[in-house]
Amino acid sequence: MCLPCDCDPSGSLDEGICESRSDGGGLAGAQSGQCHCKRHVTGRRCDQCLPGYWNFTEDNPDGCQQCSCHPMGTYENQGCNVYSGECVCKRYVTGRDCDACLPEHWGLSEARDGCKPCDCDPGGSYDNNCDLYSGQCKCRPHVTGRTCSQPEQGYFAGLLDYRIYEAEYGEVSGNGQPLIREPPRDRDQSWTGPGFVRAVEESSIVFTLDAITQSMDYDIVIRYEPQLAGQWEDVRVVLERPDGVNPDGPCANLLLRQEYGGPEETRVSLPSGARHVVVHPAACLEAGKQYKVRLDFKAYDLRQDTPSASVLVDSITVVPRADSIPFLKGTPTNEYRQQEFNHYRCAEYFYSVVKANIPEICKKHLYSIGFYVLGSGFECTCDPTGSYSGICDSLGK
């Protein structure tokens, strides 16, 4: 008994004839009922494209056309969809033919995922996009390396206490007196600038804060040397803002506060066992504006006047707060960075002038933050106005 060949006319040759019987010795593998297929067609009835081919049509003399998948970008060389011709891409690859890297990726290759993440330094680069072929990220000025993680030669990453405002350059009133001190020969200098201001009860020091390059929250840190065994109990810290806060900027929250408009005042004590104190709350400062910070030295001892009491005020510095930095918040990756930064107390190394050994794990973050806060790598030159000290130092990375 014989069956009809039933060859698919779109994929068959020889007017739909088929093998009449299995032939073990003749045509390789010819099976009974096998139709004669066009070049790119398979199946007993010649009704399917060969693997790696698509678009089965009668008009095509070969039956199907070859997939145009990029061999490097296609997942396990699986070819393409037989109807649409779309290829199955590797993880970081896109495009109909799997010939392009996903955004924020580069370097299409044989690798398992096809492309590599740009992995641009969050502070040293402008964003996380890089050149498709070289992987080069877009670096801020004077920042270099594929990922923009290093300062150019002759330039530095700004450290967290880069902005230092010396008391001895401030405006002193009451009976406060500048005190110049020679640098020590045998150990690290524990203060900055030429010296200090000796503050007494009812004296004040006004610092002018300028050269802020990034609008964000800063911790104001007061650096001092105690002169007596007890702590100085009452120092008022008054921040005067220039007119207006940008309602679209990161300091806009201030506009919601009822007391906004007047000077912002807070109180600190200066413990005798410390050389610095962090003022709370943090201050939101805006780039390009000028601020006055006034320290009013009230009572050394709240129970009695102590006219003989004094304290040596070295400087104030403004340390960027990690929770105010865009790449340390908002996404799981960023939150992880902030956790690491806080866990190793990376910011606290910058509260005092003399720094303990900074853990390696902090250094990467510190470079990124320095590039972000200053907007570039910076060249070490002295400030001609003399109103603040820039400390030029690398982290030894």
Binding site for Ca ion (CB under 5 A): 166, 192-193, 314-315
Question: In the complex with Ca ion, which residue's Cβ is closer, 49 or 293?
Answer: 293
Question: What is the DSSP code string of 191-210?
Answer: S-SSEEEEEETTEEEEEEE-
Question: In the complex with Ca ion, which residue's Cβ is closer, 8 or 314?
Answer: 314
Question: Smallest distance, Å, CB 197 to Ca ion?
Answer: 8
Tell me if 49 sits within 8 A of 41, measured CB to CB: yes
Contacts 24+ apart (CB under 8 A), 180-186: none
Output the furthest CA–CA distance in the chain (Å, rounded): 124
CA 329/CA 125 separation, integer angstroms: 17
Question: Smallest distance, Å, CB 191 to Ca ion?
Answer: 5
Question: In the complex with Ca ion, which residue's Cβ is closer, 51 or 386?
Answer: 386
Question: Smallest distance, Å, CB 176 to Ca ion?
Answer: 13
Question: Smallest distance, Å, CB 264 to Ca ion?
Answer: 24
Question: In the complex with Ca ion, which residue's Cβ is closer, 191 or 367?
Answer: 191
The residue among 370, 313, 329 whose CA lies nearest residue 346 is 370
333 is written with which tokens?
């990756």
Asked whether the bond before 281 is cis by omega within 30 degrees of 0, the reply is yes
Question: Smallest distance, Å, CB 394 to Ca ion?
Answer: 23
Question: In the complex with Ca ion, which residue's Cβ is closer, 286 or 314?
Answer: 314
Residue located via tokens 């609008």: 215
- Rounded to 10 deg, the angle between the 360-374 and 332-343 helix axes is 120
Tell me if 394 sits within 8 A of 379, measured CB to CB: no
Tell me if 183 sits within 8 A of 353, measured CB to CB: no
Question: In the complex with Ca ion, which residue's Cβ is closer, 169 or 341?
Answer: 169
Question: In the complex with Ca ion, which residue's Cβ is closer, 315 or 368?
Answer: 315
CA 78/CA 98 separation, integer angstroms: 12
Query: In this structure, what are the phi and psi dihedrals at residue 249, rounded to the nearest 5 degrees?
Result: -95, 180
Question: Smallest distance, Å, CB 179 to Ca ion?
Answer: 9
Question: Smallest distance, Å, CB 312 to Ca ion?
Answer: 9
- Which single residue brings its beta carbon nearest to Ca ion? 193
